[in-house]
Amino acid sequence: MNPAILIDGCAIAAIDSTGTEHAEGWILTEGGVIAALGDGAPPPLPEGGRRIDARGHLATPALVNCHHHLFQWATRGLAQESDLFGWLTTLYPLWAGIDGEISHHAARAGLAALALSGCATTTDHHYIFPRGGGDLLEAEIRAAQGLGLRFQPCRGSMDLGRSSGGLPPDEVIEDRDAILIATEEAIDRWHDPAPGAMLRVAVAPCSPFSVTGELMREAAALARRRGVRLHTHLAETVEEEAFCLERFGVRPVEYLDDLDWLAPDVWLAHCVHLSPAEIARFAATGTSVAHCPSSNARLGSGIAPVADLVAAGVAVGLGVDGAASNESGELAVELRQALLVARLRGGPAAMTARTSLALGTIHGARCLGREDEIGSLEPGKRADIALWRIDGAGHAGLADPVAALVLGPPRQVAGLLVDGAPVVERGSLLTADLDEVARDAAAASARLAP
């Protein structure tokens, strides 16, 4: 059990339903949960507890990353000028060589980047399982457990190869029945439905152009039978839209709707190309979105209509997306990116700094169905807390702490608690040796993409 921690003297942005903020306040954590928070004199420190002097910092809910492909850390910086389909067809053959060791070291590097950018909870969409590659899901789960992050691996899959009209080469797809068996085994082995769980599993066939409709339907039935969430890519590019119109005769959103995939237990990555009617359909069905602004910009995919989605009541979490289409893999920068691209699309009123911070926290929690546990600073919620320094030269004179975080100079987290346990302190990662992480990740990349 983690000792009680009193974080004292910091600005606080709670991101709760009433927008609670304190210019100078305190947060008390006990037993992995937030016991109390407020301003004025803090309560006495429980016996055996620790006090963190957080003057000059802003405390926010730790960030929630809603979309990633950790294995891609091993293939960064390639196909730099390609669009999505060209990028994928360049990388698929490399990914066919992934094994457990590469997956583990790539995941450690990606997870370290997330922790150091204020992220306590991350999903990962792993959809490549080469024959003979070992247990790649276990490899990344062990990495997350080692770093101490809350983790939701999504058992991804592809069963529509090039010979059947799909995009991926046949050697990287799996047999549909084998996918469903392996997915259910992953749920049996890893999924923890308990409140406050550190590990949950989701079901995640990859995309309309790499998965058959039959697998989409059966995956949804499996997830609902087992009470786990569903995730996939959707409406990322105009090429995907053309693929769906040609192959299925409908746009991507209607295709998914026909497969019973628009529902409150589903969150969808990207959703760049949506019509107003499709946004309304997301709102009516309770479907959530993972917005990946840097990756969408890196691949030139377009700008998602996030302001319209949020106005319609859709939960829009943030995601870094895979490390091969967002070579930084840091989540905090996406707060700024989301705001900037929303304003490029919709003008200066399209998104506030506080809305952007809400996307990275409570909206992300809603995507994962965990808004009762994480995503805001409220008594009874898990003690997932990020502390950001806002008293350095870079922030001097920037009086609004939330603007300092979202719009100010590059933000690296000063402190990170995950379930009440310190993972980052004074800007240093406590749970891994970064030099070792870098060495192992470089060796994994060299082996996979020499």
Nearer to Zn ion, 295 or 361 (CB): 295
**Mask: binding to Zn ion, 381-400, rule CB under 5 A, as x and -?**
--------------------
CB atoms within 10 A of CB 258: 14
Given the DSSP bridges, would you call strands 421-425 and 21-30 parallel, antiparallel or unpaired?
unpaired
In the three-class reduction of DSSP (H, G, I as helix; E, B as strand; rest coil), residue 55 is classed as coil
Nearer to Zn ion, 333 or 417 (CB): 333
Nearer to Zn ion, 359 or 417 (CB): 359
Nearer to Zn ion, 11 or 66 (CB): 66
Q: Nearest approach, Cβ of 26 to Zn ion (angstroms)?
A: 39
- Residues near 44 by beta carbon (within 8 Å), at least 6 away in sequence: none
Q: Tell me which residue has its CB nearest to Zn ion.
A: 321
Q: Using alpha carbons, select from 403, 321, 364, 333 the residue that is nearest to residue 63.
A: 364
* Count of residues engaged in binding Zn ion, rule: CB under 5 A: 1
- Cα–Cα distance, 382 to 179 (Å, whole number): 33
Q: Nearest approach, Cβ of 385 to Zn ion (angstroms)?
A: 28
Q: Residue 223 is encoded by which pair of tokens?
A: 């997830």
- Residue pair 36/379 in contact (Cβ under 8 Å)? The answer is yes
Q: Nearest approach, Cβ of 84 to Zn ion (angstroms)?
A: 9
Q: Residue 232 is encoded by which pair of tokens?
A: 């996939």
Q: Nearest approach, Cβ of 290 to Zn ion (angstroms)?
A: 8
CA atoms within 13 A on the CB side of 206: 25
Q: Nearest approach, Cβ of 161 to Zn ion (angstroms)?
A: 19
Nearer to Zn ion, 85 or 283 (CB): 85
Nearer to Zn ion, 156 or 415 (CB): 156
In the three-class reduction of DSSP (H, G, I as helix; E, B as strand; rest coil), residue 189 is classed as helix
What sign results for the dihedral spanned by CA atoms 264, 161, 445, 189? positive
Q: Nearest approach, Cβ of 272 to Zn ion (angstroms)?
A: 12
Q: Residue 357 is encoded by which pair of tokens?
A: 């911070």
Radius of gyration of the chain (CA): 21
**Residue 318, strand partner residues:** 65, 291
Q: Nearest approach, Cβ of 362 to Zn ion (angstroms)?
A: 22
- Residue pair 98/178 in contact (Cβ under 8 Å)? The answer is no
Q: Nearest approach, Cβ of 119 to Zn ion (angstroms)?
A: 16
CA 310 to chain centre: 18
Q: Nearest approach, Cβ of 364 to Zn ion (angstroms)?
A: 15
**Rule CB under 5 A: which of 19-78 touch Zn ion?**
none
- Cα–Cα distance, 49 to 28 (Å, whole number): 10
Q: Residue 355 is encoded by which pair of tokens?
A: 């809305």
Per DSSP, 153 falls in state E
- Cα–Cα distance, 299 to 327 (Å, whole number): 12
Nearer to Zn ion, 75 or 376 (CB): 75
Nearer to Zn ion, 69 or 382 (CB): 69
Nearer to Zn ion, 21 or 321 (CB): 321
Q: Nearest approach, Cβ of 90 to Zn ion (angstroms)?
A: 15
Kind and range of the H or E run holding 364: helix 364-367
**Rule CB under 5 A: which of 291-330 touch Zn ion?**
321
- Residue pair 12/22 in contact (Cβ under 8 Å)? The answer is yes
- Cα–Cα distance, 417 to 174 (Å, whole number): 38
Nearer to Zn ion, 278 or 321 (CB): 321
Nearer to Zn ion, 66 or 413 (CB): 66
Q: Nearest approach, Cβ of 319 to Zn ion (angstroms)?
A: 8
Q: Residue 378 is encoded by which pair of tokens?
A: 């409220």
**Packing angle of the helix pair 100-115, 434-448 (nearest 10 deg):** 140
| Chain residues that interact with Zn ion, rule: CB under 5 A | 321
